Amino acid sequence: MAEDATTLLKTADGRPLKAALATAQARSRRRAFLLVLPLLAFVLLTFLIPIGYMLKRSFEHDGFSANAPALVQWFAENPGFDPANPPEAAFAALVQDLAKMQADKTTGMVGTRINYTVPGTISLFKSGARAAKDLAPPYKEALLAEDAKWGQPALWRGMYDASSTYTGDFYQVAVDRKLTDDGWARGGDKERIYVYLFVKTFLVSALITVICLLLAFPVSHLLATLPMAKSSLLMILVLLPFWTSLLVRTTAWIALLQEQGVVNNMLVALGLVSDGNRLSMMYNMTGTIVAMTHVLLPFMILPLYSVMRVIPPSYARAARSLGATSWTTFRRVYLPQTLPGIAAGSLLVFILAVGYYITPALVGGADGQLISNLVSFHMTKSNWSLAAALAALLLVAILVLYWVYDRLVGIDRLKFG
Amino acid sequence: MALPTYASPLERVWYYTYLTICVLVFLFLILPVLIVIPLSFNLEPYFSFTEKMLALDPDGYSLRWYDTLLTLGHPTADAPRDNAWWWSAWENATWVKAAKNSLWVGLWATVLATTLGTIAALGLSRPEMPYRRLIMAILISPMIVPIIIIAVGMSFFYAKACVAPDSAVGMITGTFLSTKGCLANSYLGVIVAHAVLGIPFVIITVTATLSGFDQSLIRAAHSLGANPRVTFFKVVAPLILPGVISGALFAFGTSFDEVVAVLFIAGPEQQTIPRQMFNGIREAISPAILAVATILVIFSVALLTVVELLRRRSDRLRGVTGR
Amino acid sequence: MKKILILSTALTGLASAAHADLTVMSWGGAYGEAQTEAFVKPFMATTGIKTIMVDSDNPATPVKAMVESGNVTVDVANIEYADAIRLCDEGVLEPIDIATLPAGADGTPAADDFLPGAVTECAVSTDIWSNVFAYDTTKFAEGPTKVADFFDLEKFPGKRGLKKGAKAVLELALMGDGVPASEVYAVLSTPEGVDRAFAKLDTIKKDVVWWEAGSQAPQLLADGEVAMTTAYNGRIFAAAMNEGKPFQIVWDGQIYENEMFVVPKGAPNKEDAMKFIAFSTSTEGLRASAQQISYGPARKSSMATEIIFKDGKTVMAPHLPTAPENMTNALETSSEFWVDHDAELNERFQAWLSQ
């Protein structure tokens, strides 16, 4: 009915109103989009493309594939070879490549690439390359006589994997799998580190989120129920740390918590601990958790506060007047109304905690390191593809959380101060 | 929340426990920030209060760590303090150089983030904006994606984002970039990285201001004969200005505090205050770091005050009462 | 448009003012200061080439990253011996021709004047330094004297400072477990040997404070955060001499090696970099360095006459790693071993740390 009415209506210049409206709307949509476009382009160039580039790096390494052409070709032609017993042709290609590596000075690059999946091979490639030009057929026997390690099935599997520039090897390593003579398998317990650190990072982040929630709840409640003038004043106590440099706050915690720091000195002066038994609260997990809780607490208080502020006190009063105890009132009436704030704050704190780097790096010591620190470790050690693979796994986890946050809370609800 | 008169004894106990907890949490929040201030005046090279300090003996306090900020890296540190000395400190002292770099990078990152962010926020706040949710999600993501991931990606890409220094484009842009014509190891690289990190804050504060914006004011201006330009500068701009400024301050604060991206993409010349602090904390933690920290705390108090005043002004202008 | 102009001129002014002619990367702290005094300042005065010194925990890592990403900002870097060999093999470093290095002050050609192994294909030794452990003499009535004492928490209670990394730490653990210096690398080459080293470290793990930058070690000792710590011997010497700290070095079980100057491939100022290295590793250059900090020069001619510390009275010889009385149980780092096992053992070390 309404549909019919609009089709009949015409604008002053005789066009159907519906079409004119659609044109106008399209135009205003375009205008709105044009305003956003410069920023989108900027973010694309300086942020999204770099992250895409990182993802590409996590699958890419040409240290071997670019420097061992003969073997790459042989692998391409014989994908089903037996790594336990490669034929003479494979060894011939290998010797040819080794001689080329020696001439091109690329043994280091090749060795480093294979070393990522088969440790201890850098010197093998080095000595092999040095000897290559003097070797005579049959190459298999000659090379094995040079060093029996050339016959390892794991090495041949590693070279086969590395003969492709694009590989999932680094993701295998990133989930603690090792290349053995029989293919990829679960790594030994002493070498398992990445999955353990991922789990640890998530557990620590969850713990910090819970601590933040427990600390933030009463404070937000107080801020939300006090008269405006007083709560604004107290709010400064929350906002000042929020605005203070992260490095300043980390420094402050070092000053407070280290063995010769303010807190330990106070405890010793009060006689609570003896001088020889000062508490270790810094450069370990305790230090990381305390400092991170402090840094992230405002991110919990602010969303909780903004939700609590608008909860009408009359509901609680009504519950009490209907005979509910104060505990029941809290549990059944007040708490459910704060859930949006709890969800918003917890997710935000958790997301930020999972990716934390600076604080654990400075105060974490040995056991207070999180997954970000390991990414950084591999970056500085130039194992870029592994760093990128670990970062990519972390990114996936974060994006899932971000999506949940958007679903539950809505990103446009983010606010500061 | 005052205690009602009908409260039971148990509730009374609970109420005072609750207040105590709140006080403790506030102390937990604020004490670490404040503790660095007295410690920075320590005469001794320690991170703790000496007995003289606790006795409030003026002899236990000194300005020596503030002095270090001017003399570290200064070739003629011991010379008499004439004009030439001060000029040389301004030119050479490590911390002064770092401060100049931080302000410089922060300034341009803020200009970039605020300009692009405000224009985009104007578009995003229009009801007819297509794909609004997705675009918002992308623009806010620099705040959500862990900084280490961003830094790793940037360090890969910015090293490849180069122009040949002798090409036509290189002639114009070369001075913004590193000697090799790349974004990595250049001021421009750090500036754009910091701008991206500041953008979510600008978007959030400006769209928040715009969400309370009464669209009928625009129609009113149009009906009174104002063209879109006049409408923007005379009606919209003054109303959203407080939001823009606080967004800008957030962006500046982000840049001024950022260290991870700098560690990964900057060259030795782009030494900023946070980078200098990061290295200082990892190596010899001298109270000079605390002196810097104290200056930064005062700086953040100033920033906070400005943001708070702006927020109130904005609320008043938009006719919002209370918070 | 006007804005863009202002922006570009402003940026131009800033960027061009900041470029140095030569950038040298070293290890910071007392060592960096010594090299600034001994190498950088005289070099600037002699040649007029504006040289800046930048610090790193271990310059080998940024150098490799820079070359691989194609963004080299450093002209000369000071790196460990094994790293110099490894990076040279990987094609990350410029070759250095020994013939371009100046002859000794007594006229001996450089090739004969340098100690054996002190000049390699891509690197020239700046000094011989050592990983030692040190303690605060005020903390113990009778201090530790043997490497085993470092692991003896009962006799010498208190925290231990250790470098966060596999290299020199695993060797120390084995020597602390009674392996003689001459057999350390043979043992460490076996999986059982590696397990044995980690097992020894397990005995003190909960009492270890890990340090990364060389200057942290003396700082930990000075702050009382640890009772004893491993350190680069020159850092302890500097803290004792320059700041009067009551620190004592235990030379038993020291692990020494050459420290090398290298030029990263693609260094922006390669020629000046070579000039800098020739200047610094001359007889006088190495001598000047040894007058600043207790690392031994690798040229015979530099030791022709007695080296006196910059205070004008301390004789350096007994403080150097190469002094005969310090060499009774000393281990020279095996570059072959670390070239091969660096990545693997450091990964294992990380895994062990986080457990």
CA–CA separation, B161 vs B154, rounded Å? 10
Residue C261's pLDDT is 96
- Strand (E) positions, A267-376? none
Contact (CB<8Å) C225/A260:
yes
The answer to whether residue C338 sits within a structural domain is yes
Question: How many residues in total does chain C contain?
Answer: 355
Are A368 and A234 within one domain?
Answer: yes
Local structure of residue A188 (DSSP, 8 states): P
CA–CA separation, A249 vs A241, rounded Å? 8
B264 chain-A contacts, CB cut-off 8 A: 379
Helices (H), A119-261: 122-132, 139-146, 153-162, 169-174, 194-225, 228-243, 246-257
pLDDT along chain A (417 residues), means of 10: 58 81 88 93 95 94 93 93 92 94 86 86 85 88 90 94 93 90 83 87 96 96 90 90 90 88 89 84 90 95 91 88 87 90 92 92 85 89 89 95 87 65
Lowest mean pLDDT among A388-392, C5-9, C20-24, C38-42: C5-9
ipTM of the complex as predicted: 0.88
From the list C253, C241, C236, C256, the residue with the least C-alpha distance to C296 is C256
CB-defined contacts B:C, below 8 A:
67
Q: Does the pLDDT value for residue C232 go beyond 90?
A: yes
CA distance A124 to chain C (A): 9
Closest C-chain CA to B183: C71
CA distance C15 to chain B (A): 6
Closest B-chain CA to C62: B264
CA–CA separation, A350 vs C1, rounded Å? 45
Which positions of chain B have pLDDT values less than 50? 321-323
Are C80 and C98 within one domain?
Answer: yes
A260 chain-B contacts, CB cut-off 8 A: 46-48
CA distance B159 to chain A (A): 10
List chains touching A (3+ CB pairs under 8 A).
B, C
CA–CA separation, C276 vs C292, rounded Å? 18
C202 interface with A at CB cutoff 8 Å: no
Residue A274's pLDDT is 86
β-sheet bridge partners, residue C260: C79, C125
Are A349 and A231 within one domain?
Answer: yes
Contact (CB<8Å) C353/A191:
no
* Structural domains counted in chain A: 3
Question: What contacts A49, CB < 8 A, 6 or more positions away?
Answer: B157
CA–CA separation, B224 vs B221, rounded Å? 5
* Dihedral angle, C-alpha A169, A172, A176, A181, nearest 10 °: -70
Q: Does the pLDDT value for residue C204 go beyond 70?
A: yes
Q: Does the pLDDT value for residue C139 go beyond 80?
A: yes
A126 interface with C at CB cutoff 8 Å: yes
Looking at A186, A202, A235, the residue that finishes a domain is A186
The domain of C264 spans 18-128+258-322
- Mind listing the pLDDT tens digit for each residue in B193-216? 999 999 999 999 898 888 877 778
Strands C228-232 and C123-136: antiparallel
Residue C4's pLDDT is 40
Closest A-chain CA to B273: A247
Helices (H), B125-146: 132-144
Are C88 and C213 within one domain?
Answer: no
The domain of A385 spans 194-413
Are A237 and A107 within one domain?
Answer: no
| Residue C136, SS3 per DSSP | strand
Question: What contacts C205, CB < 8 A, 6 or more positions away?
Answer: none
Contact (CB<8Å) C350/A193:
yes
Closest A-chain CA to C223: A260
Are A377 and A248 within one domain?
Answer: yes
* Structural domains counted in chain C: 2
The answer to whether residue A220 sits within a structural domain is yes
C1 interface with B at CB cutoff 8 Å: no
Cross-chain CB nearest to A380 (options C61, C157, C339): C61
CA–CA separation, A169 vs A167, rounded Å? 5
Which of C11, C24, C216 is the best mutation test for B, with the most CBs of B within 10 A? C11
The answer to whether residue C7 sits within a structural domain is no
Are A279 and A405 within one domain?
Answer: yes
B303 chain-A contacts, CB cut-off 8 A: 243
The answer to whether residue A64 sits within a structural domain is no
DSSP string, A360-417: HHHH-TTTT--HHHHHHHHHHTT-HHHHHHHHHHHHHHHHHHHHHHHHHT-GGG----
Contact (CB<8Å) B175/C74:
no
Contact (CB<8Å) A365/C210:
yes
The answer to whether residue C5 sits within a structural domain is no
Are C72 and C119 within one domain?
Answer: yes
Sign of CA dihedral B109, B112, B117, B118: positive
Are A9 and A117 within one domain?
Answer: no
Which of B92, B185, B283, B289 is the best mutation test for C, with the most CBs of C within 10 A? B283
C29 chain-B contacts, CB cut-off 8 A: 283-284
Contact (CB<8Å) A416/B257:
no
C224 chain-A contacts, CB cut-off 8 A: 259-260
ω into residue A138 within 30 of 0, thus cis?
A: yes
B184 chain-C contacts, CB cut-off 8 A: 69, 71
Give me the CATH number covering residue C150.
3.40.190.10
Are A288 and A213 within one domain?
Answer: yes
Residue A28's pLDDT is 87
Local structure of residue C280 (DSSP, 8 states): H
Are A114 and A44 within one domain?
Answer: no
Are A161 and A45 within one domain?
Answer: no
Are A109 and A252 within one domain?
Answer: no
What the block records as the tokens of C269 is 């100022």
Are A217 and A151 within one domain?
Answer: no
The answer to whether residue C116 sits within a structural domain is yes
Q: Which helix (H) or strand (E) holds C79?
A: strand C76-80
The mean pLDDT value for C230-256 works out to 92
A192 interface with C at CB cutoff 8 Å: yes
Cα three-residue angle C177-C181-C183, rounded to 5 degrees: 85
For domain B99-124+189-317, give the CATH number. 1.10.3720.10
Q: Does the pLDDT value for residue C198 go beyond 60?
A: yes
The answer to whether residue C247 sits within a structural domain is yes
Are C108 and C195 within one domain?
Answer: no
β-sheet bridge partners, residue C210: C162
List chains touching B (3+ CB pairs under 8 A).
A, C
Contact (CB<8Å) A50/B128:
no
CA–CA separation, C324 vs C315, rounded Å? 15
Domain ranges of chain B: 99-124+189-317
Contact (CB<8Å) B123/A34:
yes
Cross-chain CB nearest to C213 (options B184, B186, B282): B282
Residue C17's pLDDT is 39
Are A13 and A125 within one domain?
Answer: no
